[in-house]
């Protein structure tokens, strides 16, 4: 029997090709992610044209695979959701166009999903978080790819940016420092493994903006400090590399925790600190944020909420779920919606958008509760 209100999610914003099918209540019926890491590793980073071609080659197969695994036929779909920004424009065009084609063929709604909103809403997936999903509003520390922001998540479609990076994003800093240490791309996971063998107190690295008002970030100076130490031979042997990796990771974790504390002070109604994005998978970062969340914040209790590791990096489960969240508010998108390489969260449409309130047009299982 087909799952009521099944939604197909498609992700192709960078170098992961992904598809997933969720039931209308958020139950994950099937998911698949294909990493393009090997195709880009020899270039030391993502090559947009190669990424787009890989999405074009693999996305239809992955979509068929998750539909088969879920026991669904194309006619069982209630909607299609595809990442439509921000990201590499070639990949976005591939995923959005493929999703629109399915929506046209089946006569179902199409949802153009903001990749950052998908990260922001992942923790609301039913049954995912012990203790239940956080209530609005909550503070989001978004550490995904080239993004590093503190965001007030007020409701679906309503976001207020409190602070952002002034230069490098934290994920970029991890990759650049990993390259300085001679580690393979992508650098973040390799640096974390190396840091586990090092002494985080050996090198006194700067903590940019630590204790400063507001919750903006800066990582360029920290990266430069590591580069200077490498130039002076600090990473000439295995011990030096491990200690420098650990010292860098400790500095990043302390800065992120400090900035999150300032952001919590700016959002006194928040009872949860949500961390999302690829860097959220880093254990040292999670530990520092957990300690910060446990500290007193104006007499209120704040808990750290993070998705499971598989949903920190790019995936289609979060895309399908964001689609479901928006469809419940009547926020489907026209088929001429153009993918956007830049799409700030504070430009999203919420329940007051032009398409809100059309309950009669919603597929079964996706009507407002």
**Given 3-state DSSP classes, what are the helix, strand and coil percentages for the chain, each rounded to the nearest 5?**
40, 20, 40
Q: Is 146 annotated as a binding residue?
A: yes
The gap from C-alpha 117 to its chain's centroid, in whole angstroms, comes to 8
143 is in an annotated binding site: yes
- Ligand-binding annotation for 87, yes or no, is no
Q: Please list, residue by residue across 298-328, b when 16 or more beta carbons sit within 10 angstroms of its beta carbon and e when fewer do.
A: eeeebbbbbbeeebbbbbbbbbbbbbbbbbb
CB-based contacts of 351-356 (< 8 A; 24+ apart in sequence): 351/155, 351/156, 351/157, 353/157, 355/330, 355/331, 356/329, 356/330, 356/331
CA angle 350, 315, 146 (to 5 degrees): 75
Distance CA 55, CA 88 (A): 11
* 188 belongs to an annotated ligand binding site: yes
CA nearest neighbour of 265 among 162, 133, 148: 162
Burial class of residue 73 in the structure, from the number of CB atoms within 10 Å of its CB (0-12 exposed, 13-18 middle, 19+ buried): exposed
Query: Which residues contact residue 84 at a Cβ distance below 8 angstroms, ignoring those fewer than 6 apart?
Result: 92, 95, 96, 112, 113, 114, 333, 337, 338, 339, 340, 343
Tell me how far apart the alpha carbons of residues 156 and 154 are, in angstroms, rounded to a whole number: 7
* Dihedral (Cα; 278, 282, 285, 290), 10-degree rounding: 100
DSSP string, 291-313: HHHHS-BTTB--EEE---GGGTS
Q: Is 192 annotated as a binding residue?
A: yes
Residue 70, SS3 per DSSP: coil
Annotated ligand binding at 144? The verdict is yes
- Is 314 annotated to bind a ligand? Reply is yes
Check the annotation: does 142 bind a ligand.
yes
* Residue 175, marked binder: yes
- For 228-237, letters b (16+ CB in 10 Å) and e give ebbeeebbee
Q: Based on the number of CB atoms within 10 Å of its own CB, is 60 exposed (0-12), middle (13-18) or buried (19 or more)?
A: middle
Does 114 appear as a known binding residue?
A: no
* Binding-site residue positions for Fe cation: 115, 119, 314
* Binding-site residue positions: 115, 119, 142-146, 175, 188, 192, 282, 314
* Binding-site residue positions for substrate: 142-146, 175, 188, 192, 282
């Amino acid at each position: 029997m087909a799952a009521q209100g099944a939604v197909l999610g498609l992700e192709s914003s960078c170098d992961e090709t992904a598809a997933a099918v969720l039931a209308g209540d958020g139950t994950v019926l099937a998911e698949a992610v294909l990493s393009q890491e090997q195709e880009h590793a020899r270039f030391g980073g993502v090559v947009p044209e190669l990424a787009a071609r890989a999405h074009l080659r693999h996305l239809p197969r992955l979509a068929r695979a998750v539909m088969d695994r879920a026991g669904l036929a194309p006619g069982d779909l209630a909607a299609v959701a595809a990442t439509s920004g921000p990201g590499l424009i070639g990949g976005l065009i591939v995923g959005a166009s493929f999703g629109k084609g399915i929506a046209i063929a089946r006569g179902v709604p199409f949802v153009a999903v903001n990749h950052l909103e998908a990260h922001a809403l992942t923790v609301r997936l039913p049954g995912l978080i012990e203790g239940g999903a956080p209530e609005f509003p909550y503070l989001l520390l978004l550490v995904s790819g080239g993004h590093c922001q503190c965001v007030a998540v007020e409701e679906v479609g309503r976001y207020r940016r409190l602070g952002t990076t002034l230069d490098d994003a934290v994920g970029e800093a991890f990759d650049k420092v990993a390259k300085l240490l001679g580690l393979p791309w992508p650098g973040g996971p390799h640096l974390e493994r190396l840091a586990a063998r090092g002494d985080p107190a050996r090198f006194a690295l700067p903590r940019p903006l630590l204790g400063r008002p507001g919750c903006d970030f800066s990582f360029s100076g920290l990266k430069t400090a590591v580069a200077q130490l490498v130039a002076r031979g600090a990473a000439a042997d295995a011990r030096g590399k491990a200690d420098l990796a650990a010292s860098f990771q400790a500095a990043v974790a302390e800065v992120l925790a400090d900035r999150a504390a300032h952001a919590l002070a700016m959002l006194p109604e928040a009872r949860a600190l949500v961390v999302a994005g690829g860097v959220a998978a880093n254990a040292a970062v999670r530990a520092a944020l957990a300690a910060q969340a446990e500290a007193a914040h104006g007499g209120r209790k704040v808990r750290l909420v993070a998705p499971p590791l598989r949903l920190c990096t790019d995936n289609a489960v979060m895309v399908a779920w964001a689609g479901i969240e928006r469809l419940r508010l009547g926020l489907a998108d026209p088929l001429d919606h153009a993918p956007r390489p830049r799409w700030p969260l504070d430009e999203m449409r919420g329940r007051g958008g032009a398409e809100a309130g059309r309950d009669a047009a919603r597929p079964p299982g996706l009507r407002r509760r």
